[in-house]
Structure 1
Amino acid sequence: MTKFRLKLTMLFVLLIGSSVLAAGLLMGNSYQKNHQAALRDHMIRELHVLNAAVPWPDKLNEAEASEYLQQQAQRFKEIAEMRITYIRLDGTVIGDSDHDPLTMNRHLDREEVREALASGTGSSVRYSDTLKERMMYVAIKVSGTEGESDSGIVRLAMSLGDIERSLDRMWLALISALLLLFIVAGAVSYRVALGVTRPLERMTSAAKRMADMDYATRVPDGGKDEVGELAKALNAMAASLQHQLDEIRSNGDRLQSVLDNMTSGVVMIAPDGKITLYNREAEQLLGSSVRERVGRSVTEIRQHFELINLIREVLEQPAYVREELTVYYPEERLLEIHIVPMTMGGDDEQGLLLVLQDVTAIRRLERMRSEFVANVSHELKTPVAAVKGFAETLLAGAMNDEETARSFLTIIQDESDRLNRLIGDILELSKIESRRSPLQFSPIDLPAFLGRMAELLSPEAGKKSIELNVQAEEGLFLEADEDRLGQILMNLLQNGINYTPEGGKVKVTAEVVESGDGEEELVRITVADTGIGIPKKDVPRIFERFYRVDKARSRSSGGTGLGLSIVKHLTELHRGTIRVESEIGAGSKFILELPLLQP
């Protein structure tokens, strides 16, 4: 825009300068011609005056006439500083105020002489080799004293130096004025050009910023002319684009927020196989970041060979696909994959949209539900079958044998009690999982509470000569549901007694510890026994429903296989954790950590 402004300024200056220069040249030329014409007329009048004062001497012979005219010419030279030349009709000079006539050439070839001979008056302007300057020559044809016929030519010469010096001064003034005018015209033109180009510069700058998607820029109001209207139109366009861009960004932010917070992984693949979209859940499921994946080929995901082969097949033959694949990176997961072909771009090319759902937990729950149903059916069938079998035996005649009948009835009663406990535990676990029985928190004096638990189980521990020991900090209070906490500790203590050989020990300790981040105080209750221990392979599963390490021993001890599962759920309802440390033959340690205060 600066170049345009300079060009516009130069154009204005050239137009003004050319006009002024042309006017100056015309004025100078006119001045010169008018001055020369006025001088010529003046010189003609002077010649007529001179001729009247000193007429051509016709009565004298040639020598006398020449002498007489020479004297008159010199006299006029002295009086008026005029150069007077007397010329005969044949061009011979017979008198001159500045030179000896005898040394001068014939003047018949002079322009002013020829014109005077032809029309009576003649003039010319030329450089004088004699005087070394430009001269104006004016000649008239005159008659003698008798006045009968033309006798000769009188010529008057005058230097044009004054005129030329006047013209030089005029040209100097004209050039100076022209230079000054150029400067003024340049400043004015620049100002005018600036007024024209500055709004255009602003609009150009604003248009460039708009091209860079900076639609918040505005052009200053340029008035009510066409440029101002253009500025208003640009501002209106920028406001409209800004509004549309804000809408697009808002929609994009909402879409991005939806994608980032989806529980399903979303991956979009272009027809050329490059990934164009990769949300946060996809990062978690496939184990790579957006920066590593977007813009790169899907074939670079080398950790998921089966998934890549599936994508290649659908890219080659577009069709809706639903598959379940197991991936092993970053961890083992079962993914439900939906692949939907979709048109992308203007050439009807088919890209792919992948929706990934982690169904590992769902399938595990389904498996656990199936196992739970199978286990419940099995656990219920066993005591029912025993009751039915022994009842049929009694009805078949065994009632006549009193000892046998008593033994069978005792078994029927034991199996009925076991069946009752199993049904009770199933109902209890269902109630806990569905959260139909909210916890009632209250402060619990933990040393006294643990002492009561030990008293309740002392008879059972005494049957196996097991030492039951309780250690708790004095004055230690815990905020918890007393009934549920009793249920937790009762299950843990009974397990410790049941799986500890005779003469063993079961120890309960309680202490205050800090959480891992140091922001919360926890109460750690540890139930340790010297029992048979738990194999390392079974430790991760002991809190599952109906899972038994030693099925035969569990049945003989009267366990239902639901106790530790109930303990796990009740602990989580208290916002606590429970873990196991065990060694075969050396016993087990159940570590329960609960918040000292509930929120």
Structure 2
Amino acid sequence: MTKFRLKLTALFMLLIGLSVLAAGLFTGQYYKKNHQDALREHMIRETQVLNAMAPWPETTEVEGQVAFLQQQAQRFKDIAGMRVTYIRPDGVVVGDSDHDPVTMENHKNREEIREALESGEGSSIRRSETLRQNMLYVAQSFKSGDRVVGVIRLSMSLSDVERSLNNMWLALVFGLALLFALAAIVSYRVALGVTRPLEKMTAAAKRMANMDYAIRIPEGGRDELGELARTLNAMGANLQEQLDQIGRNGSRLQSVLDNMTSGVVMIAHDGRITLYNREAEQLLGNTGKERVGRSFTEFKQHYELVQLIRTGLEHGDKLYDELTVYYPEERMLQISLVPMTMSDDEEPGLLLVMQDVTAIRRLENMRSEFVANVSHELKTPVAAVKGFAETLLAGAMNDGETARSFLTIIQDESDRLNRLIGDILELSKIESRRSPLQFSPIDMDSFLERMKELLAAEAAKKNISLDISSEAGLFIEADEDRLGQMLMNLIQNGINYTTDGGKVKVIAEAFTTDEGDDEPMDWVRITVSDTGIGIPKKDMPRIFERFYRVDKARSRSSGGTGLGLSIVKHLVELHRGSIRVESTVGVGSQFILELPMLQP
């Protein structure tokens, strides 16, 4: 912008200089012409005065004319201060104030003489080689009747005029130099006033080009530059508002994509991945930075998915499928492929939407297994009741002992069926959370004593020692009925799977966890251990599944439904606790139940 300012200043100075120079040249020429015209008119009048004072002699004698006119020429030179020359119509000089006429050449071809003879007056300017000066010559012819008798010529040096012009040119040059200096200062100030706002506008435009739309320009006055500044400010404000809106929309869109529970991948027509959201990272592995801009064929771990995407790009049809991926972990994914156009001038690409249906399919399988298990478990007692009832109806009623035995079996199977239905309904109620927990403080010492009283008779039948102890003053916040249900199931399992003369032990104690930056938390650990048959390692991961039994024959004979530990697992989770099992075959098992002392 400094170069532009200098150029603008130089342009102003050039225009001013040319204007002043043209004005000076015009003035000088005008002054010179007017001065010469004034001298010429003056000299014409002088010739008329000379002729009036001393008319051209009528005599035709050359000697007489020369003598008379020579005398008059010398006399008038002293009066007028100009050279006086008398010339006959044939160009012969008959009198001259500065030279001897005899020695002078014929003047008929001189410009001023020729004009005087033709029109009565004539003038010319030419350099005198004798005087080495520019001379102004003025001639006028005089007549006697209709005949020209002679020409009087006056000549005057133009040195005074030229000296005056030179002085004028010197003043003009000095004035021009002074004017140039003033013009330079004024032009620079004017250029500065023009370029400084332009510099600010240029700087602001560069910052706007770099996406900085918050810059504003001082608006100044009401001229064109001020209007331009206001326009640029309005444009910057509008662009800033649009950019903010685009940023907000982009943030919303990014937030939506990042928080979607579905994986979203956009693939261009050439196979390049253009979008890879956070859920896609979880489902397919790798980060968006690693995937965006690269080809979908680099999904080396997902062969079936690559083939599905290739089919979608080739045919441009909507595709729906379910497939299993094994990286970063095994999952069942529901895939939707939809053709979409990224922009008007691009070929259509693909939008890939993935939904993790692993849990849904697992739940469906569990539901199917549950229905099958329920059907199987219900079928056994129903079949037994039906079979013995048909036997009784067929005639066994007549045998009192057999009838009594069969009716006892029917009653046991009915009780088992009733317990099974009750456990199924209870588990369904717990899983659907239709029965909210009622938390209250529980004194563990007295609570465990009541549990011991309830189960003492059952343990005594098998001569099993039931040892229950609690840390003094230990309280827990829990649902008392549900906590009793949990412990009842665990203790009954211990009694059922412990041989006669064995031992079942329950211990309740407090402990505190302090993990990392989390605040310390108080917990209650309840350990139910027995000296029973134990649980094989292969069965331990599945013992909390519904209807899963380690020893199916013994479980049925003990009246178990296979749902007790599943109910315990769900109730523990509702109390925000955890349960685990440790067991050695032939030595015994212990179930470790950990619950928060206070519920949030």
Q: Give the TM interval when normalised to the shorter protein.
A: 0.7 to 0.9
Aligned to 1:41: 41
- Aligned Cα root-mean-square deviation (Å): 5.1
Cα distance in structure 2, aligned partners of 1:351 and 1:431: 48
Q: Is the 8 A contact 1:479 1:598 kept in 2?
A: yes
Structure 1 counterpart SS, 2:535: coil
Instruction: Please list, as runs of the form range in 1=range in 2, the aligned pairs for 1:378-397 lying within 5 A after superposition.
Output: 378-393=376-391
Question: Relative to 1, partners in 2 of residues 1:404 and 1:508: Cα closer, same or farther, differing over 3 Å?
Answer: farther
Aligned to 2:135: 135
Q: Does structure 1 residue 434 correspond to structure 2 residue 422?
A: no
Of 445, 449, 452, the residue aligned with 2:450 is 452
Query: How many angstroms does 1:80 deviate by?
Result: 6.1
Amino acid at match of 2:165: L
Cα distance in structure 2, aligned partners of 1:231 and 1:524: 74
Instruction: Please list, as runs of the form range in 1=range in 2, the aligned pairs for 1:184-333 lying within 5 A after superposition.
Output: 209=208, 258-333=256-331
Amino acid at match of 1:513: T
TM (norm. structure 2) is: 0.79
Query: How many angstroms does 1:38 deviate by?
Result: 0.7
For residues 79-123 of structure 1, the C-alpha deviation after alignment (integer angstroms, 9 at most, x for no partner) is 765444555666566766566778765545432344345555432
Query: How many angstroms does 1:161 deviate by?
Result: 2.5
Aligned to 2:591: 590
Q: Does structure 1 residue 521 correspond to structure 2 residue 494?
A: no
Aligned to 1:570: 571
Aligned to 2:508: 509
Aligned to 2:475: 477
Of 346, 350, 353, the residue aligned with 1:352 is 350
Question: Relative to 1, partners in 2 of residues 1:456 and 1:103: Cα closer, same or farther, differing over 3 Å?
Answer: farther
Q: Is the 8 A contact 1:219 1:234 kept in 2?
A: no
Query: How many angstroms does 1:188 deviate by?
Result: 8.1
Cα distance in structure 1, aligned partners of 2:57 and 2:10: 68
Question: Relative to 1, partners in 2 of residues 1:251 and 1:149: Cα closer, same or farther, differing over 3 Å?
Answer: closer
Cα distance in structure 1, aligned partners of 2:439 and 2:562: 28
Q: Is the 8 A contact 2:381 2:416 kept in 1?
A: yes
Q: Is the 8 A contact 2:423 2:563 kept in 1?
A: yes
Cα distance in structure 1, aligned partners of 2:280 and 2:445: 50
Query: How many angstroms does 1:32 deviate by?
Result: 2.0
Aligned to 2:125: 125
Query: How many angstroms does 1:483 deviate by?
Result: 1.1
Cα distance in structure 2, aligned partners of 1:99 and 1:471: 164
Query: How many angstroms does 1:165 deviate by?
Result: 3.2
Query: How many angstroms does 1:422 deviate by?
Result: 1.6
Is the deviation greater in 170-179 or in 51-60? 51-60
Cα distance in structure 2, aligned partners of 1:396 and 1:45: 179
Cα distance in structure 2, aligned partners of 1:24 and 1:238: 51
Query: How many angstroms does 1:552 deviate by?
Result: 2.7
Query: How many angstroms does 1:367 deviate by?
Result: 1.1
Aligned to 1:541: 542
Q: Does structure 1 residue 418 correspond to structure 2 residue 419?
A: no
Structure 2 counterpart SS, 1:368: helix
For residues 527-561 of structure 1, the C-alpha deviation after alignment (integer angstroms, 9 at most, x for no partner) is 25254443444333222111123323322333211
Question: Relative to 1, partners in 2 of residues 1:138 and 1:463: Cα closer, same or farther, differing over 3 Å?
Answer: same
Is the deviation greater in 345-354 or in 133-142? 345-354
Amino acid at match of 1:548: R
Question: Relative to 1, partners in 2 of residues 1:552 and 1:209: Cα closer, same or farther, differing over 3 Å?
Answer: same
Q: Is the 8 A contact 2:204 2:217 kept in 1?
A: no
Q: How many residues were matched structurally?
A: 596
Is the deviation greater in 464-473 or in 522-531? 464-473
Q: Is the 8 A contact 2:8 2:191 kept in 1?
A: no
Question: Relative to 1, partners in 2 of residues 1:391 and 1:162: Cα closer, same or farther, differing over 3 Å?
Answer: same
Query: How many angstroms does 1:333 deviate by?
Result: 0.9
Cα distance in structure 1, aligned partners of 2:513 and 2:429: 32
For residues 255-296 of structure 1, the C-alpha deviation after alignment (integer angstroms, 9 at most, x for no partner) is 555544443333343433334444443333222434344444
Query: How many angstroms does 1:171 deviate by?
Result: 4.3
Amino acid at match of 2:129: D
Is the deviation greater in 298-307 or in 585-594? 585-594
Cα distance in structure 1, aligned partners of 2:146 and 2:493: 175
Is the deviation greater in 322-331 or in 576-585? 576-585
Cα distance in structure 1, aligned partners of 2:404 and 2:454: 30
Query: How many angstroms does 1:437 deviate by?
Result: 2.0
Instruction: Please list, as runs of the form range in 1=range in 2, the aligned pairs for 1:5-154 lying within 5 A after superposition.
Output: 25-50=25-50, 81-85=81-85, 107-141=107-141, 154=152
Query: How many angstroms does 1:127 deviate by?
Result: 2.1
Q: Is the 8 A contact 1:444 1:478 kept in 2?
A: yes
Question: Relative to 1, partners in 2 of residues 1:391 and 1:67: Cα closer, same or farther, differing over 3 Å?
Answer: same
Question: Relative to 1, partners in 2 of residues 1:583 and 1:103: Cα closer, same or farther, differing over 3 Å?
Answer: farther
Structure 2 counterpart SS, 1:46: helix
Q: Is the 8 A contact 1:523 1:596 kept in 2?
A: yes
Aligned to 2:362: 364
Q: Is the 8 A contact 2:317 2:339 kept in 1?
A: yes
Aligned to 1:555: 556
Structure 2 counterpart SS, 1:418: helix
Aligned to 1:334: 332
Is the deviation greater in 288-297 or in 74-83? 74-83
Cα distance in structure 2, aligned partners of 1:160 and 1:588: 143
Is the deviation greater in 314-323 or in 541-550? 314-323
Cα distance in structure 1, aligned partners of 2:583 and 2:218: 78
Query: How many angstroms does 1:12 deviate by?
Result: 8.6
Contiguous gaps of at least 5 residues in structure 1: none
Contiguous gaps of at least 5 residues in structure 2: none
Q: Is the 8 A contact 1:467 1:504 kept in 2?
A: yes
For residues 439-459 of structure 1, the C-alpha deviation after alignment (integer angstroms, 9 at most, x for no partner) is 111111123323433443344
Cα distance in structure 2, aligned partners of 1:584 and 1:397: 47
For residues 493-526 of structure 1, the C-alpha deviation after alignment (integer angstroms, 9 at most, x for no partner) is 2223333455455342321323645236242324
Q: Is the 8 A contact 2:339 2:350 kept in 1?
A: yes
For residues 446-493 of structure 1, the C-alpha deviation after alignment (integer angstroms, 9 at most, x for no partner) is 233234334433444455565544454332221111111111122222
Question: Relative to 1, partners in 2 of residues 1:317 and 1:59: Cα closer, same or farther, differing over 3 Å?
Answer: closer
Amino acid at match of 2:581: V
For residues 391-450 of structure 1, the C-alpha deviation after alignment (integer angstroms, 9 at most, x for no partner) is 555566666777666655554444333223222211211221222222111111123323
Cα distance in structure 2, aligned partners of 1:533 and 1:187: 108
Is the deviation greater in 549-558 or in 84-93? 84-93
Aligned to 1:579: 580
Structure 1 counterpart SS, 2:580: strand
Amino acid at match of 1:473: E
Cα distance in structure 1, aligned partners of 2:266 and 2:390: 68
Structure 1 counterpart SS, 2:539: helix
Structure 2 counterpart SS, 1:479: strand
Is the deviation greater in 393-402 or in 106-115? 393-402
Question: Relative to 1, partners in 2 of residues 1:223 and 1:585: Cα closer, same or farther, differing over 3 Å?
Answer: farther
Is the deviation greater in 157-166 or in 104-113? 104-113
Query: How many angstroms does 1:158 deviate by?
Result: 2.0
Is the deviation greater in 573-582 or in 188-197? 188-197
Cα distance in structure 1, aligned partners of 2:124 and 2:79: 24
Query: How many angstroms does 1:382 deviate by?
Result: 1.9
Q: Is the 8 A contact 2:524 2:597 kept in 1?
A: no
Cα distance in structure 2, aligned partners of 1:588 and 1:194: 96
Question: Relative to 1, partners in 2 of residues 1:85 and 1:437: Cα closer, same or farther, differing over 3 Å?
Answer: same
Is the deviation greater in 150-159 or in 28-37? 150-159
Cα distance in structure 1, aligned partners of 2:465 and 2:105: 167
Cα distance in structure 2, aligned partners of 1:270 and 1:222: 52
Question: Relative to 1, partners in 2 of residues 1:150 and 1:393: Cα closer, same or farther, differing over 3 Å?
Answer: closer
For residues 32-81 of structure 1, the C-alpha deviation after alignment (integer angstroms, 9 at most, x for no partner) is 22211110121233344455666778989978987887777667666765
Question: Relative to 1, partners in 2 of residues 1:556 and 1:129: Cα closer, same or farther, differing over 3 Å?
Answer: farther
Q: Is the 8 A contact 1:6 1:190 kept in 2?
A: no
Query: How many angstroms does 1:138 deviate by?
Result: 2.3
Cα distance in structure 1, aligned partners of 2:10 and 2:134: 39
Query: How many angstroms does 1:573 deviate by?
Result: 1.7
